[in-house]
Structure 1
Amino acid sequence: MIVATGRSLGGSRLISINSCHVDSCLYHGQVSLDFARGLEARGARVRVPTTLNVGSVDLLHPAMVLRRNPEEVKVYEDGRALMAAYTALGCTPSWTCAPYQLPGRPSFGEHIAWAESNAVVFANSVLGARTERYGDFIDICSAVTGFAPYAGLHTDEGRLATVLFDCTGLTGATLDHELTYPLIGYLVGSWTDQGNNPVITGLPPDTPEDRLKALGAAAASAGGVALFHAVGVTPEAPTLEAVLHPSGPIAVHRLELRDLEAARAELTTRSTGKLDAVSVGTPHASIAEIRALAQLLKPAPRFHDEVEVFLSTGRRTLTDAKAEGLVEILERSGVRILVDTCTYVTSVLSAKVHTVMTNSAKWAHYAPANLGVDVAVGTLEECVESAVRGQVTLHPMSEVSD
């Protein structure tokens, strides 16, 4: 399978990799389980450190996963079996879509084989590691063999930028707005054709990792982006010339506040009315994001009785949050903490939920089709305010422009 993949990508040879991140442990049907068990039956074991993406079950809080009908019972049972099968292959049971938040993350220039779109784009862009956008089954094959094709984003040429996004026209206040980054990512993904790499100019040099995470996750969800460069921010892009293809950009997009507002409106399918749930932490919330939520909840606001509030995060981050006393603050306000999975892929939301608020462009992009719900996109503060009121409460981004 690895050789065939390499040939299809036009690779010249195979290269050794230093780590894998496997997305295949999310249950998509019987073939998922058959493939993993087939590897296990043949004595396969991973040859490199291999972390696991989210599964279909919260193993620490199994009661949170709903089993309302035979189909959901099967997903629950087979999902648990699939997670066990990948652990038996020697993979680390990390169960997170944000493996870059774990210790020992890849270093600059290191060749890896990662799946899960947001993990791929973060590794390539923010860390400067090198991986193609691998998918289910190919990921575990790379882990078992220890090889990946030398093609695409593993090569210098394959990492050059061909589409320019100019953000120099955005004001300082807009660049400090929480939603700016997932919305830029959504536009980057929507306007970048498959096989092209975007480069962004005009972002602050000290843009935090969590904002780059939100940008990359949205770009990878809205399109096929597996690498973005941000000039003066990401490690391969000290200058535009350092990453731009010699032939220059094939397209130039100059982003303005109205573009961000239009993107928010496109992702938001319900901007007013009754709110049923809030879901934050897609990709999995970092410790800094959990601190920010806890800070908003320190006055101990009472969520509306008819609003469910979920935070998704990884096990390692949850342990750190407990040590800092953050979990107590969240749970006192009624936040339900989900690990090992995510609310848009697992049966967690109750049947009464019709409108959900999130600060994640990735969640907003996938949830309407996955769950059949309406979505409102807001800041973390707007999510808390709306959960308290029981009504979708959004403030125009233009209110913060200077």
Structure 2
Amino acid sequence: MQLTDEEIRMRDGADGAAVAAAMDLLIRYGEALGAERLVDTRNVAGTMTQPSPAKAQLVREGGWAKAYAVINLDCDDDIEIPRMKVPTCQLQHGFSDDAEGLTAYSPQSIELQTDAENYYSERGVNILATCTPYQVGNLPVRGEHVAWMESSAVVYANSVLGARTNCEGGASTGAAGLTGKIPYWGNHITENRYATHLLQADARIDTFQEWGMFGYFVGEHVQEARPAIVGSFAQPDLADLKHFGAATATSGGVEIFHIPGITPEAPTLEAAFGGGAIPEPIRYGEAERRWVYDTLNAQGESDEVDFILLGCPHASLDQVALVAHLLEGKRLKEGTELWVMTPRALRTMADRNGYTRAITRAGGKVLTDSCPAMSRAAPPGTKVFATDSAKQAHYLPAILGIEAWFGTLEECVDAAITGRWRGALA
């Protein structure tokens, strides 16, 4: 790789052992990818604080410095970890104290995570604790090179914000935070961001549910390629695009999509394809819409629901407000749990606006920092859950061995109140 004088100095130890280890990792990583150089970044979103048995053992052996060196720098040396060189945030992690006692998730894991937050915040890591950092202040600008983890965050950053990132891992983001560098490859290069496939919606896409279903279809058909989207859809909002992108990254591995006239790098369809040939469209009509709905609901048999999960990716304030409105004056059926997952910063705003009070008065809970898929935990005894998230309907049955129903937010709230699934495709 071609290194600048600054990068050579960091590699050779001018900024300390941890930075040298970080540069060594990035050089090896870049060479494996075929990158010719590194690129500057001032926005890193990674994972340092989430607990695990392996991490707990490393902390017992040498503290959090040891855990960071091994897991985030691929380094076995005993080194001190300095402050991050560039702005770095922690994405979602394990359940926090607001979920204590609600699942079998151990108090020891919560305590370990709290200890980690104290350690890393002292080293300049902003503990946002959400899979949607763009909802709570981390908003890179168009063209900015960033180093983000988390599939739904990555596809949103590339597509909706026009920032540039690959789907990074714990090691590459750990090294990027200490150096302000990341390999220049993949989505950082303009030519690699142009659309490769054209998807046309013939069915009307005008609700949160429809955007999620369409996204699931798109990801299934393009896998890790780059779709451009045209057709019959209403103006999407933040939640729609968040839901759509998360679904494309779930059924496939989409990291960037284009919607001409809506996403920043596609003012026209021609621009989305970089002036190249536009392929014949893959069409999404009523038959395809039915296939997606049936696929996402193929893991549900019993209509007796005991757990409802909303907020994946983490719910916006508007979504929390809608749940509160639907629950006003209502009460959950005994034995049914409703969890609304949202960033902690938005939970504070939900508290202030009375949304949390309305949800908890009905028997629901507003939780932060994680989700059942990330923490691999649900209410004890859960057998059948319902969700408005294509991502959770796809993953959670496999992770926890439970049945799943997918539908609208309104259908999910109805299930929480009645204890029964009565959803249907309109």
Q: Does 1:273 align with 2:297?
A: no
The correspondence of residues 242-281 of structure 1 with structure 2, limited to 5 A, is: 242-244=271-273, 248=277, 252-268=281-297, 269-270=299-300, 272-281=302-311
Q: Provide the identity percentage.
A: 31
Could you tell me which residue of structure 2 aligns to residue 124 of structure 1?
158
Q: Cα distance, 1:45 vs. partner?
A: 2.4
Contact residue 199 and residue 230 of structure 1 kept, 8 A: yes
Structure 1: distance between partners of 2:219 and 2:49: 25
Distance 1:50 1:255, change over 3 A: same
Q: Secondary structure at the match of 2:313?
A: strand
Contact residue 125 and residue 234 of structure 1 kept, 8 A: yes
Q: Does 1:170 align with 2:208?
A: no
Q: Which amino acid aligns with 1:44?
A: P
Q: Secondary structure at the match of 1:294?
A: helix
Q: Cα distance, 1:31 vs. partner?
A: 5.0
Contact residue 102 and residue 379 of structure 2 kept, 8 A: no
Q: Which amino acid aligns with 1:126?
A: V
Q: Does 1:212 align with 2:206?
A: no
Could you tell me which residue of structure 1 aligns to residue 5 of structure 2?
none
Q: Cα distance, 1:368 vs. partner?
A: 0.9
Q: Does 1:91 align with 2:125?
A: yes
**Which stretch shifts more, 242-251 or 345-354?**
242-251
Structure 1: distance between partners of 2:274 and 2:375: 41
Distance 1:25 1:369, change over 3 A: farther
Match of 1:14 among 38, 44, 50: 38
Q: Secondary structure at the match of 1:285?
A: coil
Structure 2: distance between partners of 1:132 and 1:203: 30
Could you tell me which residue of structure 2 aligns to residue 240 of structure 1?
269
Structure 2: distance between partners of 1:190 and 1:55: 27
Larger radius of gyration: 2
* Cα displacement string for residues 252-310 of structure 1 (whole angstroms, at most 9, x for unaligned residues): 31001221221121122115521111000011101111111122122x22211011100
Q: Which amino acid aligns with 1:133?
A: C
Structure 1: distance between partners of 2:65 and 2:182: 22
Contact residue 33 and residue 78 of structure 1 kept, 8 A: no
Match of 1:141 among 175, 185, 199: 175
Q: Cα distance, 1:150 vs. partner?
A: 1.2
Contact residue 223 and residue 251 of structure 2 kept, 8 A: no
Q: Which amino acid aligns with 2:382?
A: V
Structure 1: distance between partners of 2:152 and 2:289: 20
User: How many pairs align?
Assistant: 387
Could you tell me which residue of structure 1 aligns to residue 102 of structure 2?
64
Could you tell me which residue of structure 2 aligns to residue 5 of structure 1?
29
Q: Secondary structure at the match of 1:141?
A: helix
Could you tell me which residue of structure 1 aligns to residue 142 of structure 2?
108
The correspondence of residues 3-402 of structure 1 with structure 2, limited to 5 A, is: 3-30=27-54, 34=58, 37-38=65-66, 39=68, 41-67=79-105, 72=106, 75-167=109-201, 169-171=202-204, 175-194=205-224, 196-202=225-231, 204=233, 206-244=235-273, 248=277, 252-268=281-297, 269-270=299-300, 272-298=302-328, 300-346=329-375, 348-397=377-426
Distance 1:29 1:222, change over 3 A: farther
Contact residue 183 and residue 361 of structure 1 kept, 8 A: yes
**Which stretch shifts more, 118-127 or 256-265?**
256-265
Q: Secondary structure at the match of 2:158?
A: helix
Contact residue 339 and residue 366 of structure 2 kept, 8 A: yes
Contact residue 24 and residue 32 of structure 1 kept, 8 A: no
- Relative to the length of structure 1, the TM-score reads 0.90
* Cα displacement string for residues 179-229 of structure 1 (whole angstroms, at most 9, x for unaligned residues): 1111111112221133x2111112546211110000101111222111111
* Cα displacement string for residues 304-356 of structure 1 (whole angstroms, at most 9, x for unaligned residues): 10111001111111111112111111111111111111122225423321000
Which segments of structure 1 move beyond 4 Å, counting only runs of 4 or more?
Answer: 72-85
Q: Which amino acid aligns with 1:48?
A: V
Q: Which amino acid aligns with 2:316?
A: S
Contact residue 92 and residue 131 of structure 2 kept, 8 A: yes
**RMSD, aligned CA:** 2.2
Distance 1:273 1:205, change over 3 A: closer
**Which stretch shifts more, 86-95 or 236-245?**
86-95
